[in-house]
Structure 1
Amino acid sequence: MTRLSDLANAHPVIGKRWSQDQPPEQARILGLARDALDFIFATGQRYGFEDFFKRPDSRRPPPRSDNAGQREFMDRTKRFFEKLRDEPESAEEAAQSQAILDAIRYIESTGQQDAFAAFQEHVEANAPPYVVASFDTREDAEAWLASHPHPPDPANVLIANEYHDVFHDRETNLRRLPRNRALKWYLAELEQKERPVAVASFERREEADAWWRAQAEPARRAWVRVGGELHLAVYYPNIHHRALFPLSMSNGQEEVRRKSPPG
């Protein structure tokens, strides 16, 4: 049976075949395989995925998607990895290829093609780490987690616009929301990869928040300047949430300011 750990270990079969000068179709196939693995993690479907492959009907042909273009490339990706599975360079590559095929089958069989397509757009935009929910306060998040019949695991949520992990152990029913550094690492990497250029400037944070909320069709992310400091404005369409993150979070300055006593 394929487990979540098998998906985590399947990336090398993709990386081994990835190159800068590869044909566009191969890049799209390998990218789809990578995103299929990551989608299940990012959306917190550990137990749903593992339970699916315990069912006797898990190997039945999945229903066909209405999106012909997406269906075609999912089929091409399956054929690519079926060949690697059946003519592997090693037993390890055969197992990795099968894990990718199982990830795609799970997405198709559970009718998540549209959600997966939206996740691919998120990845293509190099947007911040994916989140499944947002809460104004810790108390709201704790109440949500306590009452959730099947909490997502693993997954990210925002609490007062700070990233937290969702942890749920089904055997013990242990549920936790520890903070993580996903956004800090993302901002640091983003700053290295691109030169931040603000599309708008504001004196006060309230003005920037109002401007971002007023955007009818916001980009996934955009740089703005608030009081002389760069912020990343982010839109999470899956949860209809908008946030502004100071770039200073990338080096811990924002965290230091929060913990420091007032002047």
Structure 2
Amino acid sequence: MQVTIHEQLVDVVLFIGARRRAAEAKGRHEEVKLWRYVWLLDDFVRVTGQVYRFEDSLRRELSAERPSISTHLGDHEGTLAQPVMDLLLETLDETPEPEQKQHVRVLIALVNFLAETGQLDEADGFVVNRWDYAPVAIAHFSNPEEAQAWMKSVAEPPSPVRILIGDEYFQFWYMREDNTRGMYRDYPIEPDLEWLTARGIPPETPSFATRVEAEAWLKSHPAHPYTFVAIAGEHYFAVHHPWLKRHSLHHVASTLEAWEERKRLVELDTDQETEDPSEGAGE
């Protein structure tokens, strides 16, 4: 059975983790930093929905006996891309196991992919400023109809990715193998909102009469990545989406209420799955 690109990337992440732990055990702090960096480059490709795009590039690179190195790496001297590539090439030469070598070749291809597509600076910004990023959404739609039209019209959509419909996160997915696609409601910010509100909303929260006023203020005072504002006396959780150049605004009380309901349903489903299927069979 052929291994999918998603399975390959899962194996690669496990490989990175093992190498990073080995470097930590030996006190190689610089190497630990480089393995963390390449892990975040992998994460950048995932959250921006470029898994299949990378797969196309990967097929070409893995067909060569010896990995080639992008000539564009030298254009990004401010990043760790070149030291990471040096580490990967050294690891490739020192690793005897064919399966482990394959993982290294995938990572070399990933760095090359970002360099060849001119994304290394953007990816480096994602790594360096990761604490200023909310869960990444790659597109915004005003309503579900717009999102559905986009989902059906794009021949090869980014996947898997989060999108915004209004102020709500949705997870979009597309499977190249059978051209299926869909989306469902996602809850990536609710745990952070729950944690922050449990510690108390700051008393000096900026207050506005309308959403338009709040959005105008947020443009010049962007959240990093979250902040609270009050609109018409109600508290809202502002989430900054720098790639979309906008903020989403989440009504605190109703968002937390929906999150509690979501957790209750998940817990109910979990309880049902763990019940003994034979229970009650003799009744």
With the length of structure 2 as denominator, give the TM-score of the two structures: 0.72
Alignment-mate amino acid for residue 48 of structure 1 = R
Q: Which runs of 5+ in 2 are unaligned?
A: 262-283
Query: Contact (CA 8 Å) 1:234, 1:244: kept in 2 or not?
Result: yes
**In the TM superposition, what is the alpha-carbon distance from 1:93 to its structure 2 partner?**
4.4
Q: Which runs of 5+ in 1 are unaligned?
A: 258-263
Matches within 5 A, 1:109-258: 109-125=116-132, 127-188=133-194, 191=196, 197=202, 200-202=205-207, 206=211, 209-213=214-218, 215-216=219-220, 218-226=222-230, 231-246=236-251, 252-254=256-258
| CA spacing shift, 1:114–1:138, aligned 2, 3 Å | same
Query: Contact (CA 8 Å) 1:43, 1:152: kept in 2 or not?
Result: yes
Query: Contact (CA 8 Å) 1:224, 1:231: kept in 2 or not?
Result: yes
State how far apart, in whole Å, the 1-side matches of 2:200 and 2:88 are: 37
The number of equivalent residue pairs is 251
State how far apart, in whole Å, the 1-side matches of 2:205 and 2:27 are: 38
Matches within 5 A, 1:14-93: 14-16=16-18, 17-18=20-21, 19=24, 25-55=30-60, 59-65=67-73, 66-70=75-79, 73-88=80-95, 93=100
| CA spacing shift, 1:231–1:31, aligned 2, 3 Å | farther
State how far apart, in whole Å, the 2-side matches of 1:100 and 1:87 are: 15
| CA spacing shift, 1:232–1:93, aligned 2, 3 Å | farther
**In the TM superposition, what is the alpha-carbon distance from 1:41 to its structure 2 partner?**
0.8
| CA spacing shift, 1:94–1:171, aligned 2, 3 Å | closer
Deviation digits for residues 195-254 of structure 1, max 9, x if unmatched? 8657633265627633544x336243242242777644222221212112355578x414
Alignment-mate amino acid for residue 42 of structure 2 = L
Query: Contact (CA 8 Å) 2:131, 2:225: kept in 1 or not?
Result: no
Deviation digits for residues 65-102 of structure 1, max 9, x if unmatched? 533211xx211112223333332486654443333222
Alignment-mate amino acid for residue 68 of structure 1 = E
Query: Contact (CA 8 Å) 1:246, 1:254: kept in 2 or not?
Result: no
State how far apart, in whole Å, the 1-side matches of 2:27 and 2:234 are: 40
**In the TM superposition, what is the alpha-carbon distance from 1:7 to its structure 2 partner?**
1.7
**In the TM superposition, what is the alpha-carbon distance from 1:121 to its structure 2 partner?**
4.1
Query: Contact (CA 8 Å) 2:214, 2:229: kept in 1 or not?
Result: no
| CA spacing shift, 1:38–1:6, aligned 2, 3 Å | same
- Bigger proportion of residues as helix: 2
| CA spacing shift, 1:91–1:253, aligned 2, 3 Å | farther
State how far apart, in whole Å, the 1-side matches of 2:214 and 2:96 are: 53
Deviation digits for residues 110-156 of structure 1, max 9, x if unmatched? 2211321232245242x221111011100111111222232101111
Query: Contact (CA 8 Å) 1:37, 1:103: kept in 2 or not?
Result: yes
Mean alpha-carbon deviation: is it higher for 49-58 or for 110-119?
49-58
